[in-house]
Amino acid sequence: MTLPPDRQSALDRRYMRLALALGRRHLGETWPNPSVGAVLVAGPPGAERILAQGVTQPGGRPHAERIALAAAGEAARGATLYVTLEPCSHHGRTSPCADAVVEAGIARVVSAMADPDPRVAGRGHGRLSAAGIAVTVGTLGQEAARDHLGHVTRVTAGRPAIDLKLARTPDGFAAGGTGRLIITGPLANARIHLMRAHSDAIMVGVETVLADDPELTVRLPGLGDRSPVRVVLDPALRTPPQSRLLRTSDRVPTLILCGPAAPPEAERAIRAAGADVARMPVDPDGRLQLRAALHGLGERGFTRVFCEGGPTLANALARHGLIDTCLIVTGARPLDRAGLPAIGPDLADLLASGAFGLAEETRAGPDLFTSYARSSPCSPASSPMLDA
C-alpha cells in the first residue's frame, strides 16, 4: 500500500522522533562515536508495528542499527529502518552497518541526515540504494543535526562542539566580590546537571577552580555514574592537589591542560592524585592557545564539551569563534551592586551578530533559560578527526 506523500511524511516523522529520543539517551556516553537511535517498523501503514529499537551503546559500539537488527532477527526482512544518522559504510572494529542492513533484507531506510565523516559521506546511503533499498534522507534533519552537533564538529573542524553555559543575575552579573554567588534555584540546577550528563566533558579555567573549588559532577538521583570527564585549562598547573577535582579523580576522570613550561613537580603531584596532564601551546602572554587545546581534545575523542568556566573563558572562546551553542541562565534575584559582568564584549558581539540566533527560551521555576545556536557551520580544520 502506497500512502499519499503528506501521510507518508507524517508517518516518517513520527518514527524518526522516537529514533531521536532513543539516541539522546546515550549522549555523553558513546564518544568518540555519535549516539545514534534506530527503530525498525513493519506492517501496512495504519497497522504497522515496531519490531525493535536500538541506540549506540556506551563506548560507541555496537551501533544502533546492529542492535535493532539483532533484536528483530528474521522479522526485519521487508521492514523500514528509521535511523538518525547515515549508516556507516567503512570497516572499523566491525563490518559496515550499511552491509548489515542490506543482509537483513530491509526494504526501506529513512535517514535523518548524511554523515559528514569522509569515510561515509553518502557512501552508506549509496550502498543501500545500490542494493535496491528505497532511501529517504532528511526527515527531521535539523533536529538530528542538533543532536549530532558534536560528531559533525569533530569530523569537520577537528574539535569538539562547545556548549557554553553562563549564569547571571537579572542585572547582568556573574559574581559579586568575595564568596560564591548563588544565582539559580534547584530546578535550574537539576537541568544543568542533566546537561552535564549528556556531555563528554565539562571544561573550566583554573581561576574557577581556585575561586569556587567545584566538583563538576552529576548529582542527580540515579545518574551519578554519568559524570563526564572534567577538563581544566591551567597553563601553569596551579590546580591545588587538595582541590575537590583532584580528590575525586579516582572515580571521575580529570584532565588538566597546561603549557609547555608548567612545573614538572606540579605535574607529578597532579598525576599522583589520579588526574591526567597534557601540555599544549601557549600564546605570548602565557595563556593556552584555545584552538590548539580544543583540537587536542578532539584528538582524544571528545565530541561535545560543556563549558562552565565563567565570563573570562567565555569571552575568550567567543573572541576565537569557538562557541557552538550558548545557554544563558538568568536568576530571579538581582545583585543590586557592582559585580563581574556575565557577558563580556566579545561574547555580546558574537550573540548580536548574524553568526548566532535565538534558539529557545524556557523557564525552570523562576529562572530563565535563553539558548542561542550557531547559524552557520564552524570553520573546518585542515585534517578532520574520525570516529573510532
The C-alpha cell that represents 378 in the structure block: 564552524
- Which CATH number does 5-146 carry? 3.40.140.10
> What is the signed CA dihedral for 201, 202, 206, 212, rounded to 10 degrees?
-150
**Which residues are part of the catalytic machinery?**
65
- Please report, in range form, the residues annotated as the binding site: 63, 88, 97, 167, 196, 208, 212, 216, 219
CATH 3.40.430.10 residue ranges of the chain are: 158-374
Q: What is the DSSP letter of 75?
A: G
Pairing between strand 276-279 and 108-111? unpaired
Q: Which one of 3.40.50.300, 3.40.430.10, 3.40.50.2300, 2.10.109.10 gives the CATH number of domain 158-374?
A: 3.40.430.10
Q: What is the DSSP string of 261-315?
A: TS-HHHHHHHHHTT-EEEE--B-TTS-B-HHHHHHHHHHTT--EEEE---HHHHH
Q: pLDDT per position in the chain (388 positions), as tens?
A: 678 889 999 999 999 999 999 999 999 999 999 999 999 999 988 889 999 999 999 999 999 999 999 999 999 999 999 999 999 987 666 689 999 999 999 999 999 999 999 889 899 999 999 999 999 999 999 999 999 999 999 999 999 999 999 999 999 999 887 667 899 999 999 999 999 999 999 999 999 999 999 999 999 999 989 999 999 999 999 999 999 999 999 999 999 999 999 999 999 999 999 999 999 999 999 999 999 999 999 999 999 999 999 999 999 999 999 999 999 999 999 999 999 999 999 999 999 999 999 999 999 999 999 999 998 655 444 444 554 4
Q: Which three cell numbers stand for residue 85?
A: 544518522
SS3 letters across 47-63? CCEEEEEEECCCCCCCC
pLDDT the model gives residue 113? 97
What span, in angstroms and rounded, lies between the C-alpha atoms of 219 and 339? 29
**Exposed, middle or buried by CB within 10 Å (0-12, 13-18, 19+), for 4?**
exposed
Closest CA to 247 of 276, 216, 273: 273
3-class secondary structure, 335: coil
Contact 64, 71 (CB under 8 A): no
Paired sense of beta strands 134-137 and 108-111, if any: parallel
Cell matching residue 115: 554523515
Residues of the chain with CATH 3.40.140.10: 5-146
Binding-site residue set for substrate:
167, 196, 216, 219
